[in-house]
Amino acid sequence: MAADRAIEHAIAPKSVRATAAPFNSPLLKASQQLNVHYMYHAIVRYLVRRTWRRAGAGDFDAAVAMAAPDVHFRFLGDTALGADVHGREAFRAWFDTFERHLPGLRLELEDVVANGWPWNTTVAARLRVTGTLADGTPYRNTAIQWLTLRWGKLTDDLVLEDTLTLSTALARQASARVDSDVTPKTTA
């Protein structure tokens, strides 16, 4: 302890030495706890960004790998993508449905915030959804994701997207599929 104070005295500027809290002070302990808290949140934000980079490129297994076996996933809205499912397999199946209805869409994480401790972490993410629909129409939407992590595993995932924009896109996709099924195919 005396050695620690001697080191602090040797490297700290005089102005800091006069106001610095002793190593065993509640102020220093609170400061250290906050530093750990901030570091943990930085790590969580990094992991979420990394997962979304992979998922945004079509590797949805990255999100599924982060999920707890009993994950609860909800995609709000009365559309073909609306879901309220439990379990990793059902979560993976939702991504298959998403890819079947809106192939090639790009998901990009715009912002992420984290709060809480490892046993109960809340993460909020803002996503940009972009792509081109089957009829050539550009698709742009925003989604908000509210996650709960426990010890690094996704236990709850709630997604809110502009459902009017999504419904319109899904209707265009269905119409383009019907049109392509009716259009005579030419052979060379």
pLDDT digits (tens, 9 = 90+) for 146-165: 999 999 999 999 999 999 99
pLDDT band for position 26 (50/70/90)? low
> What is the reported pLDDT for 4?
47
Instruction: Examine the pLDDT at 14 and tell me if it is beyond 90.
Output: no
Q: Model's pTM, two decimal places?
A: 0.76
Amino acid 10: pLDDT: 44
The predicted structure's pLDDT at residue 77: 94
- What amino acid occupies position 29? K
Q: Report CA Rg, the chain.
A: 24
Candidates 144, 131, 126; CA nearest to 99 is 131
pLDDT at position 39 = 87
pLDDT digit string, tens, across residues 160-183: 999 999 999 999 999 987 554 444
Across the beta sheet with 138-150, the strand order is 83-86, 67-75, 153-161, 138-150, 120-132, 106-117
C-alpha to C-alpha distance for 148 and 168, rounded to whole angstroms:
30
| The pLDDT of residue 187 | 44
pLDDT confidence of residue 3: 47
Q: What is the structure's pLDDT at 178?
A: 59
Phi, psi of 25 (to 5 degrees): -75, 150
For 127, residues 6+ apart whose C-beta sits below 8 A from its C-beta are 52, 107, 108, 109, 110, 142, 143, 144, 145
Decide: 69 and 85 in contact? Cβ < 8 Å.
no
Quote the CA–CA distance of 62 and 136 in Å, as a whole number: 29
